[in-house]
Amino acid sequence: MNAGIDTGDTAWMLIATALVLMMTPALGLFYAGLVRSKNTLNTFMMSIAAIAVATVTWAAVGYSLAFDGGGALIGGLGNAFMQGVDFAPREGTAIPELVFFAFQATFCIITVALISGAVVERMRFGAFLVFAALWSVLVYAVLAHWAFGGGWLISGGTLDFAGGVPVEMASGFSALAAALVVGARKEWGRQALLPHNAVYVLLGAGLLWFGWFGFNGGSGFSTGQNSVLAFTNTLLCPACTLVVWFALDLIRGRKVTAIGAATAIIVGCVAITPAGGYVSPGWAMLLGALAALPSYAIIVWRTRTRVDETLDVLAAHGTAGFFGILFIGFFAQANWNGVSDGLFYGNAAQLGDQALAALAAPIYAFVVTFVLLKLIGAVMPLRATDREEAMGMDVVQHGEEAYVTGEGAILLLPDDVGKAAVPVADPG
């Protein structure tokens, strides 16, 4: 074992990395339940695609741009193609840089997958793959550098424990841009487009919560106090969001809804993401309770607009991430986090640092995503045709269906395959 490596820290970070990787299929399940049955596989596959694409871009340049050196705006290329990423401890931690690399990769992956929620049911799969590759470098790696890797936010004093900037606000505001560029589904605003399986939604949210203990609990890169605090806050905060969400549902519709509960779990986990290692358990519970309010309001308001940000990534991630980042500025407590106090404990400057991040990250993510998708759209069509959208993206994009019965399916022997009827994606 290399000098400076802590076996306990390393063991925990290996597990935490696996927990965070599991969050992406869990997100796929969550999203798949929220769409119509004819788009189940395509929606799930966008999350799987994020694992494929973002891992490759992360190994190639993403990790290096995020974590090599302390440049204000962007890292260097010293770790490009994983050069020098080996068993030696990552600076500032007692874990091998290889583990640090993998842990951070899982963050990039899930962030890319999150944005897919804005464009499901109509974006072409190929265009999404291209978008995922470019976004993971141009937006995720840059914001990860700002908030984690030594860039201007972290060196200026902004506290972001587990990714309020590069994960939550980045995905939320990029999702808004993506929804605006790709455009609404053709029936949006005219017909009710309902979730097809609320059980998937609840199970997906539950698995996301489970994985989030690795996401937040691992973001101290150790088994130290901040990690333990973040771990327990990841239980407390979403539970309080759930309670408040139940109350809001009861007031508004006299019934507590299942999909509302699943949404509340996500909102609570997101809110504690930036603040996990910095606020006391009591404040984490208040954070969870309060974070429900703006997200709930935006979900109710958004469905009355023309914007088809389909699965409410902005409300769940952008808004709650924004709220969590600002909350640190008020209620951070040095005797819990060992780093800094917030306004409530006499350090107003911390709120200023947090506000800066809450302003910069949404603007950067929105603008770059908007321009990036416009450019991709100039080269290839971003969305399926109306006819394809009506048939469902599963059959059109993947040639498979989620709930196939097998009745009427005729086996094609290898010799017949070329002679068979035209595949449905190309009925001309």
Partner 1 sequence: MKLVIGIVRPEQANQVLEALHRAEVRGFSMSRVQGHGGEVERVETYRGTTVQMGLSEKVRFEVAVSDSFVDKAVSAICEGGRTGEVGDGKIFVVPLDHAVRIRTGDTDEGAVTPVSR
Q: Which residues bind partner 1 (CB under 8 A)?
A: 38, 187, 191, 387, 390-392, 395, 399-401, 404-405, 407-412, 417, 420-424, 427
Position 391, amino acid:
M
List Cα–Cα distances, 59 to 45, 55, 153, in angstroms: 21, 6, 24
By beta-carbon proximity to partner 1, the closer residue of 223 and 397 is: 397
Q: What is the nearest approach in angstroms of partner 1 to the Cβ of residue 44?
A: 15
The per-residue DSSP string of 333-390 comes to: -HHHHSS---GGGT-HHHHHHHHHHHHHHHHHHHHHHHHHHHHHHHHS--B--HHHHH
The minimum distance between CB 408 and partner 1, in angstroms, equals: 3
Q: How far, in Å, CA of 46 to CA of 20, rounded?
A: 17
Amino acid, res. 309: E
Dist. CA 121–CA 196, nearest whole Å: 13
In angstroms, give the least distance from the CB of 109 to partner 1: 24
Q: Which residue's CB is nearer to partner 1, number 72 or number 424?
A: 424
Smallest separation (angstroms) from partner 1 to the CB of 427: 5
Q: How far apart are CA 24 and CA 53, in angstroms?
A: 13
d(CA 338, CA 4): 22
Whichever of 88 and 391 has its CB closer to partner 1, that residue is 391
Complex with partner 1: residue 378 or 411, whichever CB lies closer: 411
Cβ burial 416-425 (10 Å sphere, 16+ → b, else e): eeeeeeeeee
**Rg of the chain taking only CA atoms, in angstroms:** 22
Residue 299 CB, shortest distance to partner 1, in Å, is 23
Cα–Cα distance measured from residue 139 to residue 178, given in angstroms and rounded to the nearest whole number: 13
92 sits in the region (left: phi over 0; alpha: psi -120 to 50; else beta) called left
CB of 26 to partner 1, least distance (A): 23
From residue 258, how far is each of 205, 248, 253, 262, 300 by CA, in Å? 11, 13, 13, 6, 16
Smaller CB distance to partner 1: residue 380 or 390? 390
Q: State the minimum distance, in angstroms, from the CB of residue 41 to partner 1.
A: 11
What is the distance between the alpha carbons of residues 136 and 171, in angstroms, rounded to a whole number? Answer: 11
Nearer to partner 1, 73 or 409 (CB): 409
Give the nearer residue to partner 1 in terms of CB position, either 346 or 408: 408
In the complex, least distance from residue 410 CB atom to partner 1, rounded to whole angstroms: 5
CB 411, min distance to partner 1, A: 6
Q: Could you give the CA distance from residue 118 to residue 116 in angstroms, rounded to a whole number?
A: 5
CA 116: distance to chain centroid? Answer: 9
- Nearer Cβ to partner 1 (71/189): 189
Beta-ladder partners of 383: 123
Nearest residue (CB) to partner 1, 59 versus 120 = 120
- Shortest distance, CB of residue 185 to partner 1, whole angstroms? 12
Report the DSSP beta bridge partners of residue 89. Answer: 96
Q: For residues 86 and 386, which CB has a smaller minimum distance to partner 1 in the complex? A: 386
> How is residue 371 written in tokens?
């321009």
Instruction: Tell me if 394 sits within 8 A of 425, measured CB to CB.
Output: no
